[in-house]
Amino acid sequence: MNDPIRRLSVVALFLFLSLMGMATYIQVLHAGSLNDDPRNVRTLYREYGTYRGPILVDGAAVAESVAVDDPYGYQRQYTNGPVFAPVTGFYSIVYGRTGLEQAQNSLLNGTSDALFWSRLGDLFAGQEQQGASVETTIDGNLQQVAYDALGSYTGAVVALDPSTGAIKAMVSTPSFDPNDLASHDTASVNQSYAALIGDENQPMLNRAIAQLYPPGSTFKLVVTAAALEAGYTPDTKIPAPDVLTLPGSTATIQNYEGESCATDGQGSTTLADALRVSCNTAYAALGMSLQWEGIDRVARSLGFEDSFQIPMTVATSQLPVDPDAPQTAQSSIGQFDVRSTPLQMAMVAAAIANDGVVMKPYLVSTVRDNSLQVIDTTEPSVYSTAFSAQTAQYLTDMMVGVVDDGTGTRAQISGVQVAGKTGTAESGTDAPPYTWFVAFAPADDPKIAIAVLVEDGGTGATGGKVAAPIAQKVLQAALDGGQ
């Protein structure tokens, strides 16, 4: 072989090996990231050309794919979109996925390992690959009632089955229509998305699980549990000064509208009465007396400082780090650095309703393949035992007092004992406070636990005035549905 031919052969061999190396890198090592790249049009057409499974509420589809005559093959459609948007999320060819559309994507699009045998069966049968159906735990009627009850308010409602942790309602307002983002008209989708992103009310924010708020006086339930676990009883006398000066400072804490909580003429009240009228000074002093460690332990056992997958990721509710005495006082009334999602506060109510046992919250009950065979079922599971059954019973009785003749009377239901707690938390701005109500009913045989959060209830808003009536409507609907 002469020199020119030998050099040409070496160059050709080098080019061939380079080509083989790059092909191996792209098709094997880099295949996953290429398939996942939302800019990959071939992946997009392949995914949209496959039947995507429905998301179900009460056995009916609230998100489903229907065949259309365009390059994508299927169009995602949402029934009653704004009501169920915090559950379904959206599925867009431009902006990807959120909510269950994202969290259950591999099941819905049929690529999950759990659907291997289903895919194999489809292959041999010559049938098109299909995604699984995802049945949620949501009660459609309760979801609608909660959505209607919030009305024009900006806020959230979460309702749980306290014995299982199943989420029966998860509403966030204002909401949006996922159909606007699922369109195959990209210009229209871009316009809708820009409008949603530019909306100062953040309609795509799931306030039930993705936003943290100071829980205000609803956090007094956690402090009360810590006190009861430390040996207090509902009748234990605790200091309830009209004004509490925080140690080492000139800062003070007062009660709502400067009211006095003392009931014995000596500046004290009982623990039960302090909760019934939501006495700030009594709880600030109680928190400092208990010291933060005891409160922190109970709060963590209720789920604070932990992350949950329902299967969407829930924002981690937060506690202060090593607070001093004044910070402990502020934290004990749900202010300072205490932050919570509405789901977390619903879990607090559910734990009291369930004898102190915290159940892991979940949103998906069953997954079925295209032949309706069950391939996954969520079994209720215990997260922790936060406190004793005796503490839970004491708390229940005290919360009944809140609704019977305390700050939560607007949550009363005729013929049913409701256990509840109001909350009104400073927002840290000049805006009106955040208002809360957490509750469960019936108090002697709890069927439903709930948390209501309203960001802006207007001038003079309190949890008792704004959030409690919303909770009453949802509790009533839940109990009516169970009859």
* Phi, psi (degrees; rounded to nearest 5) at 98: -140, 175
Contact 242/230 with Cβ under 8 angstroms?
no
Q: Rounded distance, CA 474 to CA 44, Å?
A: 41
Burial 401-431 (b: 16+ CB within 10 A, else e): bbbbebbbbbbbbeeebbbbbbbbbeeeeee
Q: What residues are paired with 436 via a beta bridge?
A: 423, 453
Give the model's confidence band at 483: pLDDT under 50 very low, under 70 low, under 90 confident, else very high: very low
pLDDT of 95-125, one tens digit each?
999 999 999 999 999 888 888 777 777 767 6
pLDDT tens digits along 139-177: 999 999 999 999 999 999 999 999 999 999 999 999 999
pLDDT at residue 258, rounded to an integer: 82
Q: Is 3 exposed, middle or buried (0-12, 13-18, 19+ CB in 10 A)?
A: exposed
Handedness of CA 117, 120, 124, 127 (dihedral sign): positive
Region of residue 355 (left: phi > 0; alpha: psi -120 to 50; beta: else): left
> Is a pLDDT exceeding 60 seen at residue 38?
no
CB 302 within 8 A of CB 294: no
Q: Give the pLDDT confidence score for residue 33 in this predicted structure.
A: 65
Mean pLDDT to the nearest integer, 410-421:
97
pLDDT for 50: 80
Average of per-residue pLDDT across 179-202: 95
Dist. CA 94–CA 103, nearest whole Å: 18
Q: Rounded distance, CA 197 to CA 182, Å?
A: 16
Q: At what angle do helices 389-405 and 342-353 cross, to 10 degrees?
A: 110
pTM of the full predicted structure? Answer: 0.89
Residue (of 344, 405, 368) closest to 165 by Cα position:
344
> pLDDT tens, 432-482?
899 999 999 999 999 999 999 999 888 789 999 999 999 999 999 999 974
Active-site residue list: 217
Confidence of residue 80 (pLDDT cuts 50, 70, 90): very high
Range 276-287 average pLDDT: 96
- Mean pLDDT, rounded, of the chain: 91
pLDDT range class, residue 29, cuts 50, 70, 90: low
Could you report the per-residue pLDDT of 291-337, keeping only the tens digit for each?
A: 999 999 999 999 999 999 999 999 999 999 999 999 999 999 999 99
Report the pLDDT value the prediction gives residue 122, as an integer from 0 to 100: 73
